[in-house]
Amino acid sequence: MTLEGTGTLFRKEILRFWKVAFQTVAAPVLTAVLYLLIFGHVLEDKVQVFQGVGYTSFLIPGLVMMSVLQNAFANSSSSLIQSKVTGNLVFLLVTPLNHWAWFVAYVGASMVRGLTVGLGVFLVTVWFAPLHLAEPWWIIVFAALGAGMLGSLGLIAGLWADKFDQLAAFQNFIIMPLTFLSGVFYSVHSLPAMWQAVSHLNPFFYMIDGFRRGFFGASDVSPWLSLGVVGASFAVVAGVALRLLASGYKLRA
């Protein structure tokens, strides 16, 4: 019954964002393309991070991963806050699903949305510059871990927030700064020493850097270090999300 219920909740979450795919999938892809056109056009001849890699090529993996992270977070967080605000969360609370079932369904659907948008961004932007899959296993590993971590973080945000304004604040003051300051548009080696040190405290940096390693075979730090940081961060965030779900934090009035 738990497996069947988990599958049902997972399908419901998939259908929730797929029904409005123009908004949840197509719009983020368009946003990423606009970033690419603007930054690529302005900086293509002025910036080179890795030897033999043009700036537009360098930018594409960052935009793909940024889209994966932001949309994985948006899926679980928006689903929970909508259910809380509209009052239909009670229909889930009366089911025999445990906290693991909730976690797997919500985070699993968030990963699907994040990876779907990321794939869409990749398929559209790859026409603008050449890309090579130097070490493709890193692409898969960091995309999956990043989507899972942000889906879990979205659960935490959705549980904590009582209204849309609070969720927007969480996204604008935590998710967006961590994403944009993670090396999506630049290499941290181009920063002053102090800001390089600050960047290395940002787990999003390791997701972007490890993901980019899969395309170019080059990165700012070792992919194994990135894997350790991202894996540990995912374990911590997932553990907190599971604990909050198990306790019924802000779920039961």
The residue segments making up the domain with residue 162 are 2-247
Per the CB < 8 A criterion, the answer to whether 208 and 59 are in contact is: no
DSSP class of residue 128?
Answer: G
pLDDT on residue 39: 83
Residue 90 counted as domain residue: yes
Task: Please list the rounded mean pLDDT of every run of 10 residues in the chain (253 residues).
Answer: 86 95 95 90 71 84 96 96 90 89 96 97 90 92 97 96 93 91 84 85 95 91 96 97 94 71
Distance CA 127, CA 132 (A): 12
Count the helix, strand and coil residues of the chain and give each as a percent rounded to the nearest 5. 80, 0, 20
DSSP assignment of 31-42 equals HHHHHHHHHHHH
Tally the domains of the chain. Answer: 1
pLDDT on residue 253: 55
- The encoded tokens of residue 19 equal 């029904």
pLDDT on residue 48: 67
